[in-house]
Amino acid sequence: MIIDAHNHAGYYGYSAERMVRDMDEQGIDKTWLLTWECPKDEYDPEVQHLYNVFSAPIAYETCREYRDQYPDRFILGFAPDPRRPESLDRLQAAIALHGVKVCGEIKLRMMYDNPDAIRMFRYCGEKGLPVTLHFDYEFSTGHKYPRPNWWYGGGIDVLQRVLEKCPETNFLGHAPGFWAHISGDDQYDKVPYPKGPVVPGGRIPELLDRYPNLYCDISAGSGLTALSRDPAFGREFLIQYQDRIVYARDAFNNKHREYLDSLNLDAEVLRKIYSGNALKLIGEDE
Ligand SMILES: [Zn+2]
């Protein structure tokens, strides 16, 4: 079984039918449909066309419609903005009424260890929902408006504090501001997609060793670059942390799978990465 643990309804203008056709073509059994509920001034208007132009960026209702159309193919995610006073009530209703299984993705211009966020993440732990967190550092847009940069989350030390404060909640790290830390070099705040040999002492291995509630979402260019920039390291990393790595795309292509399948990994390692860990995170058996 293959599960794509990071994709979005309405992304790139894909209808539910087109998404399922793409999954069939790529041999994907199920997809986690993640929302992106974000205030209008917290995302780049230049990328809005990639998301849902009617209810930007990715509304819960759109994800729910897709899941209702194909209940056997989609796992419903929902991440309300924890700064909103009604976020816990909305999440509770979404779990009770619609069977939401994942809290994601969180992609907001706030420190993810603020008290409102921690309260919501702890609630997710009580309800058995894993939380997908998007991190980006500040990279200049060259403009003052709409924003001088598009940072999200607050960095790797914030992630550590979140893991520390919410030991009962499982988290998936994702995006450039997470994956740059596979390496112990100082590139994470210089370029969004560091390349070249991995330097020992990266924060990701350190946090994985220290916090059993951290998982890695390999989606997008960030995950693929981190695992392939130093192929020998990437292969060893996948083997060593085979119980903590989750296959995911955040796109409609087959690049991650082509890379994983090229590494000659044991069938058991691939089984965990492709579906076992994702199923475990939402409390389902294979
Ligand atoms: Zn993301």
Q: What pLDDT is recorded for position 285? A: 80
- pLDDT one-digit tens code per residue, 47-77: 877 887 677 789 999 999 999 999 999 999 9
Look over the chain and give the mean of its residue pLDDT values, rounded to a whole number.
96
How remote is the CA of residue 175 from the centroid of ligand 1, in Å?
A: 6
> Phi and psi of 138, rounded to 5°?
-80, 115
DSSP the chain: --EEEEE-TTGGG--HHHHHHHHHHHT--EEEE--B---GGGS-GGGGGGS-SSSTTB-HHHHHHHHHHSTTTEEEB----TTSTTHHHHHHHHHHHH---BEEEE--SSBTTSHHHHHHHHHHHHHT--EEEE-B-----S-SSS-S---BB--HHHHHHHHHH-TTS-EEEESHHHHGGGSSSS-TTT-SS--SSPPS--HHHHHHHH-TTEEEE--HHHHHHHHHSSHHHHHHHHHHTTTSEE---SSSS-HHHHHHHTT---HHHHHIIIIIHHHHHTT---
Taking the C-alpha atoms of residue 43 and residue 52, their distance in angstroms, rounded to an integer, is 13
How remote is the CA of residue 35 from the centroid of ligand 1, in Å?
A: 10
Q: Is residue 126 part of a domain?
A: yes
How remote is the CA of residue 33 from the centroid of ligand 1, in Å?
A: 12
How remote is the CA of residue 160 from the centroid of ligand 1, in Å?
A: 19
Count of beta carbons in the 10 Å neighbourhood of residue 61: 12
Q: Is residue 198 part of a domain?
A: yes
Tell me: cis bond preceding 105? Omega within 30 of 0 counts: yes
Q: Is residue 88 part of a domain?
A: yes
- For the cut 80, the answer to whether the pLDDT of residue 286 exceeds it is no
How remote is the CA of residue 227 from the centroid of ligand 1, in Å?
A: 17
> Phi and psi of 129, rounded to 5°?
-100, 125
Q: Is residue 275 part of a domain?
A: yes
Q: What is the CATH number of the domain that holds 182?
A: 3.20.20.140
- pLDDT one-digit tens code per residue, 90-145: 999 999 999 999 999 999 999 999 999 999 999 999 999 999 999 999 999 999 99
How remote is the CA of residue 34 from the centroid of ligand 1, in Å?
A: 9
Q: What pLDDT is recorded for position 53? A: 67
Domain of 149?
3-281
How remote is the CA of residue 163 from the centroid of ligand 1, in Å?
A: 19
How remote is the CA of residue 136 from the centroid of ligand 1, in Å?
A: 9
Instruction: Please tell me the total count of domains within the chain.
Output: 1
Per-residue confidence band for 239, with pLDDT thresholds at 50, 70 and 90: very high
How remote is the CA of residue 212 from the centroid of ligand 1, in Å?
A: 22
Q: Is residue 220 part of a domain?
A: yes
How remote is the CA of residue 107 from the centroid of ligand 1, in Å?
A: 6
User: Quick one: average pLDDT of 82-95?
Assistant: 98
Q: Is residue 45 part of a domain?
A: yes
How remote is the CA of residue 52 from the centroid of ligand 1, in Å?
A: 15
Taking the C-alpha atoms of residue 24 and residue 22, their distance in angstroms, rounded to an integer, is 5
- pLDDT one-digit tens code per residue, 207-222: 999 999 999 999 999 9
Name the pTM for this structure: 0.97
Q: Is residue 201 part of a domain?
A: yes
- For the cut 90, the answer to whether the pLDDT of residue 46 exceeds it is no
Q: What pLDDT is recorded for position 203? A: 98
In a 13 Å sphere around the CA of 138, the CA atoms on its Cβ side amount to: 9
Q: Is residue 286 part of a domain?
A: no
